[in-house]
Structure 1
Amino acid sequence: MIQNKIKYLYKFSLFLILFLKLNTLFGQYIYQGNFEGKNNTEVYIKVELIKLNAWNCQNDGFNYTIDYNWEVSVYKDGEKLENYKFYNVQFYFQIPLGSSDNVYGNITITNPGKGSAKTSTDWYNTKFHNCDAIGLENIEFENLKIEINSKDFSSEDFYIEINNKPLPIELIDFTVKNTEYGNELFWSTASEINNEYFILEKSDDAINFFEIAKLEGAGNSSQTLNYSYLDNSFTTEISYYRLKQVDFDKKFTYSKIISVANTLTAEFSIYPNPVVENINIEFLSQVENEYIVDIFNQNSQKVYSEKLNISKGFNNFTFNIFNNLESGVYFFVIKDSKGNIIIKEKIINQSRL
C-alpha cells in the first residue's frame, strides 16, 4: 500500500492556489473554472476525469490512479494568448478516503494547451474491493487544487465554494467572426440543466459590458444544441463579447470573454457644419439596415426624429429641418434598430442668423 503523503514546497514569489468544484454531468466528471489575474489576464482551466485504474484490491481498499484530460487557456483583454509562459501549473485531487491529502496530478504545465495525464498512485480506504467492478463512481471526490505560478497572479489564495450540483450548461465553444454581414457569434452546448436563457453582452473596452440580445435556453437537454446571433452594430476597432447563462432560479454564470476586430465599421461624413440650409450624411454600409436619426437641442430635448432605410453600399441623405429650428447648438445622433448609438455629432445651426 502506498500511504506516503506527497508534499511539495514552492519558492516562487508569485503563486495562486485555487479550489474548484467537481461536477458530475451525464456520466462526466469535470472540473472547470475561469480565474482573473493582473493586467486583464484570465486563465481558463478544464480537467475531465476519464478512467479509474484499480489494482492490489484488499479487504480494506485498493491502489489506484486516475486518467484525465486537461485544458489550459490564457486570455488577455479578451484575446487568446498562445505563447503565454507559466512558471508552472500543477493539479492536486482532494479525495477524502485516499491516503494522501492531495493526490498529485503528476504533471507540470508551463504553456497553454491540451493534453492527457495520469495521477500519482494512491491508496483508497474502502471495503469495496472488487477490482473488476471499480470505476470513478466508486470514488468520493472533493476539490481540485490548482497551483498557478505566473507573473500575472499575486500571492493570494482563492477559493470556490464546493457545490456538487451539475453544471447548468456544458459549453462546447463560443466564437465570433467578422463578416460582410456583421459579427457572427456562435455557441454550442453539450447539455443543459435548468437553463432558462442566455444574455449576450458586449463591450468596447473588455470592462464595461451591456446587453445586446437575450436567447431562450432549452431548459433541460442532453443533446448538442447550437445558438447564433448577428451583431451588425459596432463603432470601435475591437468588440468584446461574453455570455451570461441564467437558471430558472435566476442564478447565473459568465463565459470567457472573446473578441474580434471590426474591419467593416462604416465611416460617416456629415456636412456642412455649421449648417446654413441643408445638412447631408454620406456613408458606406456592408448590409441593409434601419437607422434612426434623432436631433436634440442644448437642453437635451428631441426636436426631430426619422427612420432611415439603409441600403448595402453607398448611402446619401439630406435633411432640411434646420430652417425650422432656432439658431444654436444641436446634437445629431444616429442609432441602429436596437437603440445603440452609432455616431453623435455636434451641429452648429446658422440658418437664422
Structure 2
Amino acid sequence: MKLVITIFLSVATTLAIAQYQSKSSGNWNNPSTWEGNVVPNSSTADIEILSGHTITLNTSVSVRNITITNGSLILGSNTIAIYGNLGGLQRNNMSSNTNTELQLLGGDEVAPFEFPANIEKLKKLVINRKQGAISYHSIDLDDGVPADGIVLVLTHGILYMYDASIVYLNSKQIQADIPCSDSSHIDGIVQRNIPKNSGVYTFPVGNKGFCRPFGVGLQNGNSDNINQVQFLYETPVQHDNINYNNLPGGIIQYFYWKHTVVSGGNPQRRLHYSYDDFPGVDSDERTESMTLANSNGSSAWDKATTPWTVNDNSKWVQFDNANASNSEYWTLGSVLSEINYENLHLPIELVTFWARLFDELRVELHWVTAQEVNNHYFVVHRSLNGIDFTPIDTIMSQGNSAEFSYYEYLDEVLFAETSILYYVLRQVDMNGDFTESHVIEVLLPQKQTQEIKPLDCKPLQGAIYIQIDTEQRPVSNIIVCDMQGNVHYELSDFSEMTSQFQVLIPVAGNKIYVVYIRYGDIYTSQRMMVR
C-alpha cells in the first residue's frame, strides 16, 4: 500500500504547473535570470518575460506556456519544446535562427500554436499536437539542414500556412520522403529543390483535413529544379470542361493539386490518393481506369501522352518518366467510361473543428463539413474543466450540399474564471442520431482580478446575497454561474439603482457557484458553496 501511495504522489507532483517570471535579462540557464533563482525546464513550466528583459536560450529546454508581456526571447542554436502556447503583448519578440529546433508538443486539447512573426528560419520543426500550428508568414527550413536531412517531423497535427505563405525546403540535402497523413501534413504551399536522378521527392500537402501528397522526380534539369505544390480539397478549376475523348470517365470532382515549376527541367509527377476517394470502386477498377489529368486553368482537362503506372498497393499514379506539360493543375482522371469518376460521392463528415481567442472576452469557433446530407443542426458545448460539458447554443445546418460548408460561432466568455475553456461540437441528424467531435482547448488571457470583499457577497441557504455600495464602488456588471458555465443571474444596467444595491438570488443548494463583479476595469470573483 505504501508503494502505491508513493507512486501516486510522484505523479501528482509531476503534473503540478510551475510559474516562473523573469527577474533580469540574461541566459536562460542562469538562476539569477529568474525570480526564486530556479531555472524553468519542464513540460509543466509556465514562464513570463517582463520588464523589458531579454532572455537568451543557451541550452535545450521544455516549457508549457510562454508569455512575453514586455521583453524578448532569443532561441539561438538550441532546441525548445513547447507543450502549451505562446502569448503576451510582445509574443512576436520570440526569435529564431537557422540552427533552432522548435518542437510543438502537447495533448489533444492544446490549442494550435501560432507562429510569431520572428520565427522565420529553423533547423528543424517537429509537430506532435492534435490541433497543429498556424503561420501567416513563410517558414524557411533549408539553411541549417542536419546531417540526417530531417528538417520536418509531422507526427500529429497540421501546419496551416495562411496568406499564401510557403514552407521552403529548397536544400537538396533534405530527406526525399516526408511522412504525412490526414492528421499531420502541411495545409498550404510547399517549395522543394529536386536533385536529378535521385528518385521521387514528396510534398507532404493536404487541405481541410485530407492529406494527398504529391511527388516530383527529375531525370534531367538544371542545378536548381525548384517546384511548388499545393493541394486543394475543392471542386477543380474548369471542372465541367473535360476532353471526354481522352477522359471518357471524367475527373475527380472534389480535389486537385496546383503544381508550379518555378525553375528547372521537366518533372516526373506522382499523385497520391486514398481508397476512400473511390467509394464503390475496387482495386482492379482503379488500376484499369486511373490516369493523371491536367489543365492550365482555361483549357479542358485532358490526359498526357506520357506513359503512366498505377500502384494501388502504395496508392499512387505516376508518369513513367518526365512529362513536358506546363499545366499547373492536376487531378485523377478515368480512361474508362464505365468507371465514371464524376459520379463518386463522399460520405458526410466533420472535416475540421478549431477555435481561437477573438479578444479577451470572446472565443471564435470554426468548423467545416463535407457533403452534408440529412444534417439537422449543431450544438456547441462548453466546459470549464474538460469533463463536465454544457450546451451553450444551437446552430442550424446550412442544408444538403455536395460542397464544403463553413460555420463559425462567437462565444462570450466574460464570466470564465478558469484560464482554459474546452469545447465539443455535437452534430445531429434529422432522425435524431448524433456524433460528437474531439475536444478542443482555448487558453484565455489572465485578467486583472481581485477577490470580492466579504461584505459584497455571501452564500445563504439556497441563495446568494449581494450588497454593494455603488457610490464608492461603481459596478458595471454582475454575473453568477455554476462550475459548468451555466449563468443563473446577470445584470449590467445599474442606471436606476440606489447607492446601496442589494439582491437575493435563489439558486439550487449543494452546488458551487462563482460570482463575478466588474468594477470599471477590475474583474472580481468569488467561489462559494451554497447549502
TM-score when scaled to structure 2? 0.30
TM-score when scaled to structure 1? 0.42
Greater strand proportion = 1
Q: Which has the higher contact order (CA 8 A, sep 6+)?
A: 1
